[in-house]
Amino acid sequence: MELEKVCENLKARGFKAQIFPDGKAAADYLNGAIDGTSVGFGGSVTLDEIGLCDALSAHNETHWHWKGGAGERGAAMTTEVYVSSVNGLSEDGELINIDGRGNRVAATLYGHKRVYFVVGQNKIAPTYEEALWRARNIAAPKNAQRLGMKTPCAVRADRCYDCKSPERICRGLVVLWRPMLDAETEVLLVRENLGL
């Protein structure tokens, strides 16, 4: 798939969007764009891989529960800027995220002046249905396995079993068709595989 076309489609929906050759370039861009402010992070293997929190912490107030513990989830809800990834992105520009606690998806909907999504090319699927399938059957099982959950998908991380497990991590689905009103929202498309 052509990232250029995905980028155009995102812009047509009102998102800011640009393409980066790799995760380092995306992190360098954000390290320049986010300065002297407060930043919250959603749980994200992508953000961990590109080392964004460490870079931004040198010149911003940062809140990420992956670094500072569970209390940081609440603090991250009230920052000026929020950064996340997605579980799936359709070529037409629909951003898909599944969440267990809800802090990550809620923060992408409300409460921040700027929201950034860092999206590796592996997250992109041709249609909305296929992007949703990816979120449910690739990203979620891998996340359940990473978290050591007692769910049927975590054993092999092969597909979703639509489980009734008490430890089910898939509890809410958010699709951004367009940027939310009053939130400047930018999608960084990265020409390498990032995250789960």
**Residue 123 contacts residue 142 (beta carbons within 8 Å):** no
DSSP, residue by residue, 77-135: TTSSEEEE--SEEETT--EEEEESSSHHHHHHHSS-SEEEEEEEGGGEESSHHHHHHHI
**Is position 120 an interface residue for ligand SF4 (rule: CB under 6 A)?**
no
Nearest to residue 26, comparing CAs of 196, 190, 192? 190
**CA-based max dimension of the chain:** 44
Least distance in angstroms from the C-beta of 147 to ligand SF4: 9
Least distance in angstroms from the C-beta of 16 to ligand SF4: 31
**Is position 152 an interface residue for ligand SF4 (rule: CB under 6 A)?**
yes
**Residue 83 contacts residue 165 (beta carbons within 8 Å):** no
**Is position 115 an interface residue for ligand SF4 (rule: CB under 6 A)?**
no
CB-wise, 163 or 180, nearer to ligand SF4?
A: 163
Q: How many residues bind ligand SF4 (CB under 6 A)?
A: 14
Least distance in angstroms from the C-beta of 32 to ligand SF4: 36
Stretch binding ligand SF4 (CB under 6 A), from 24-32, 43-51, 101-109, 152-160: 152-160
- Contact positions vs ligand SF4 (CB under 6 A): 140-141, 144, 151-153, 160-163, 165, 168-170
